[in-house]
Amino acid sequence: MGMGELEELLSEKYEYSLSRKSAIRTVCLPNSREIRTRIRTVDFRQDCDDAHSAFDYAYLRKRTPPSEPDTSETVRAVDLFCGCGGLSLGAIEACRAMGKRLTVIAAIDREPAFLRVYKTNFPRSKTYEREIERVIDGDLGIKPTKSETDLLREVDRLDILLAGPPCEGYSDLNNITRRNDARNALYERVARFVELSRPQHVLIENVPAVIHGKEKAVQNSIEAISGIGYNIDSGVVNLAAVGVPQRRRRHVVVASKAKELLIDDVVDKYSIKHKRSVRWAIGDLEVETPDKEFTIPSNLSQDNMKRAKYLHENDVFDLPDRLRPACHREEHSYRSMYGRIRYNEPSQTITSGFMSPGQGRFLHSTQLRTLTPHEAARLQFFPDFFDFSSVKVRRLLSSGIGNAAPMKLSYVFCLELLA
């Protein structure tokens, strides 16, 4: 499907209303019906040089969840490996933009802390604390197993499947089992679920290195999904192009029974005019009053405080090798480790290590500290109304935020799939 055909399906535009101090998103549906969403603008300072930027700026700072559309038009979704709910958040916002209501009939994850966050933010959803490989346990191509049959009773008539299989086994930061990790086979569980439930549309995201797994889970999954009649495309998306304030690249698979979407066409259609910077996302949080785990940075060790002071006092962003730990002083490719964030650019990829200087470029641009969970959540495009308060363990909080899929990813693809 080319760009011209995408334009005919649905269009989205943004505008200011200076008199009402608001930004307006208008989505024109294929039947020419227009859905307008108005959001009160806040005191935006930097980088809000267009209405789209102003709308998203205000959305990130919104402290109360948007109201659901008053409609009987409902979209039914399942979110596998749901985590805290980044993909669901984007799908819900896409449906709201089109005057529809999304109902998550099954959100499945093995981590109870993440499911508590999910349930807090999507109270009408049904959540299941399950190891997916124990629920979807049959091989591709065979009849449903007993546990699969039990699950299918819960998920009849499915409009869209969202899935973010674990990426740690593929991550370039994993120097132990990278490319050859037992968790990599979980990707094929998504294809098996598609084979069983036959949703209208499918959206899967993972790290770009997912295609290099030795077990060829991605290639096997694409072949299986295509083989049962789905139109399918796959590719790598730089999420900065669609408005996420970080250089986060993700491998995306999109499949549909009825539509033929090309990933590059969707990204081109929803590409923003100007990349969003770190300052755009978190500039107002520089001196946020520390309160609870969500707004408190990690404690820097004496050595790491010296490193942070060196970067600030010399106004540099990369730490010289002589100030790094001994294991980083020889030839290495860890230039961003112990680095200072560049305020006027998108951030590097936010990972679960964002509270540790040794895990990436996570020292604040203007403050002698690392990012807070609140700042990392903003950079991951979690708005302020998204509630992480049920997570009391910092390790789980950083993992839930860092491993999430920014909602902009599912937002733009769900607009096109569900129009």
pLDDT digits (tens, 9 = 90+) for 114-132: 999 999 999 999 999 999 9
Catalytic member of 82, 95, 167, 414 = 167
**Greatest Cα-to-Cα distance within the chain, rounded to the nearest angstrom:** 65
Q: Is the pLDDT of residue 194 over 90?
A: yes
CA dihedral 148, 150, 154, 159 (to 10 degrees): 20
Cβ neighbours, 10 Å, residue 232: 17
For the chain, give every domain's residue range: 3-60, 74-277+405-418, 281-402
Identify the pLDDT of residue 2.
55
pLDDT tens digit string along 1-28? 555 566 567 999 999 887 778 999 999 9
Question: Token match 């290495």: residue?
Answer: 332
- How far apart CA 74 and CA 245 sit, in angstroms, is 31
Q: Is the pLDDT of residue 168 over 70?
A: no
Contact status, residue 87 vs residue 81, Cβ threshold 8 Å: no
| Element of type H or E holding 308 | helix 302-313
* Structure confidence at residue 215 as a pLDDT band (50, 70, 90): confident
Of the two residues 250 and 50, the one the predictor is more confident about is 250
Nearest Cα to 120, choosing from 417, 327, 371, 388? 388
Q: Is the pLDDT of residue 190 over 50?
A: yes
Q: Which parts of 76-180 fold into alpha helices (H)? A: 86-97, 112-121, 132-135, 146-152
Helix/strand/coil for 225: helix
In sign, the C-alpha dihedral spanning 372, 375, 381, 384 is: positive
Contact status, residue 102 vs residue 410, Cβ threshold 8 Å: no
Contacts of 349 (CB under 8 A, 6+ apart): 246, 247, 248, 249, 360
Sheet of strand 101-109, all strands in order from the earlier edge strand to the far edge: 127-129, 101-109, 74-80, 160-163, 201-206, 249-256, 231-238
Cβ neighbours, 10 Å, residue 331: 6
Task: Compute φ and ψ for 163, nearest 5 degrees.
Answer: -155, 135
Give 133-140 contacts, CB < 8 A, sequence gap 24+: 133/185, 133/186, 133/189, 135/108, 136/189, 136/192, 136/193, 136/196, 138/192, 138/196, 139/192, 140/188, 140/191, 140/192, 140/195, 140/220, 140/224
94 class by beta-carbon count within 10 Å (0-12 exposed, 13-18 middle, 19+ buried)? buried
Q: Please give the CATH topology (third level) of the domain spanning 281-402.
A: DNA Methylase; Chain A, domain 2 (3.90.120)
Identify the pLDDT of residue 9.
76
- What value does the mean pLDDT take over residues 381-407? 97
- What value does the mean pLDDT take over residues 37-47? 73
Q: Is the pLDDT of residue 169 over 60?
A: no
- How far apart CA 182 and CA 178 sit, in angstroms, is 10
48 has catalytic annotation: no
- What value does the mean pLDDT take over residues 286-310? 94
Strands 201-206 and 249-256: antiparallel
Q: What is the mean pLDDT of the chain?
A: 91
Q: Which CATH class is domain 74-277+405-418?
A: alpha beta
Identify the pLDDT of residue 264.
98
Strands 11-17 and 22-28: antiparallel
Burial 14-44 (b: 16+ CB within 10 A, else e): beeeeeeebbbbebbbeeeeebebebebeeb
Identify the pLDDT of residue 240.
98
Contact status, residue 341 vs residue 361, Cβ threshold 8 Å: yes
Identify the pLDDT of residue 48.
65
Identify the pLDDT of residue 177.
43
91 class by beta-carbon count within 10 Å (0-12 exposed, 13-18 middle, 19+ buried)? buried
* Structure confidence at residue 178 as a pLDDT band (50, 70, 90): very low
- What value does the mean pLDDT take over residues 162-187? 64
Q: Is the pLDDT of residue 241 over 80?
A: yes
Identify the pLDDT of residue 179.
47
| Element of type H or E holding 263 | helix 263-270
* Structure confidence at residue 214 as a pLDDT band (50, 70, 90): confident
Cβ neighbours, 10 Å, residue 402: 21
In sign, the C-alpha dihedral spanning 40, 245, 110, 394 is: negative
- What value does the mean pLDDT take over residues 204-218? 91
pLDDT tens digit string along 355-370? 999 999 999 999 999 9
Nearest Cα to 346, choosing from 365, 372, 359? 365
Identify the pLDDT of residue 292.
84
